[in-house]
Structure 1
Amino acid sequence: MERAVEGLPGGLRGYQILAVVAHRDLPNQQAIGIQLAIDRTVLTYQIDALAEAGLVERIPDPADRRARKVVVTSKGAGTLPRFARRVAEAEAELLSGLASHEADAFRELVCRLAALKGFTNDYPANGL
């Protein structure tokens, strides 16, 4: 997976953040951190790197001007599909030794385990 996201700031974590920001309308960084189970101090550095690369930006939250919302930029929206494709290809390669029903069962079990641990998976998979 790290090869699949090579060149993206933050590597796999950067990809996850970019995908969540692009696919979900989360109100703030704290919600992103909860969604991905990333410590807020680590998340700040990751978002800083993505913002510096022009892939996301922090804007005032229209519902609460004191809060900052992280949104994907047009550059980020254009970049994400390429990395999503590469991640999906890496996942397919990883699971290539399994029959399709076994790969589906594996994905289902991983998602169930993640849900039990408090992670959510209500955004498009795209290799996530």
Structure 2
Amino acid sequence: MPSEPRDRSSDGARCQALDNDLVWAIRMISTALRRAAAEASETLPGGSRAYLVLMALAPTEDNPPTQLELAGRVGLDRTVMTYLLDDLEERGVLVRRPNPRDRRSRHVILTDEGRAQLQRVRTETAAAETRLLAELGEEERTQFRDLLARVAHTAQRGTRGD
């Protein structure tokens, strides 16, 4: 069931022109989520970048990505990705193994420690997401996430020049 709209008259100096501005809305959401992700992942080398890498690796156990594929999935420069993976591998969060089809590339694989770290960070960020989306009902949350994912994929294709 959709939640009731809030009474916005109590928001004081609210600028109504911003209410329908996508740049403003995304900035507010992004700032809140970045802060939560940074706090939750502060013990990982690379912080929230590491969190994104772990999230991208979690469902890939049967078909691990190469470093280059992983960099594209999370939107990181391949040089930055190499340094980040070096740090994460040193911490035992992931391992890199030669690609049997192309020995010049390496597959990136999450370790048990990496899965444990991901679960910890994911739990903390999920709590922040719940607080952020408190105004929405469950169905609206699902729809909101689905719509954002679709737009994010479009944006990602645009940055790659597809």
Could you tell me the TM-score, scaled by structure 1's length?
0.80
Distance 1:104 1:27, change over 3 A: closer
Aligned residues, how many? 119
Which residues of structure 2 form unaligned runs of 5+? 1-35, 158-162
Which residues of structure 1 form unaligned runs of 5+? 120-128
User: Which of residues 91, 96, 108 is equivalent to 1:58?
Assistant: 96
User: Which of residues 31, 51, 59 is equivalent to 1:15?
Assistant: 51
Distance 1:112 1:78, change over 3 A: same
Could you tell me the TM-score, scaled by structure 2's length?
0.65
Partner of 2:150: 112
2:93/2:113 contact within 8 Å kept? yes
Partner of 2:127: 89
Partner of 1:124: none
Q: Where do 1:28-47 residues align within 5 Å?
A: 28-47=66-85
- What SS does the corresponding residue of 1:3 show, helix, strand or coil? helix
| Structure 1 residue 48: Cα displacement | 1.5
| Structure 1 residue 90: Cα displacement | 1.5
Q: 1:100 & 1:22 partners in 2: Cα distance?
A: 25
- Identical amino acids, percent of aligned pairs: 39
Q: 1:49 & 1:64 partners in 2: Cα distance?
A: 24
Q: 1:101 & 1:69 partners in 2: Cα distance?
A: 37
Cα deviation code 1:57-95 (max 9, x no counterpart): 111112222321111122212322122211211111111
Q: CA RMSD in A?
A: 1.8
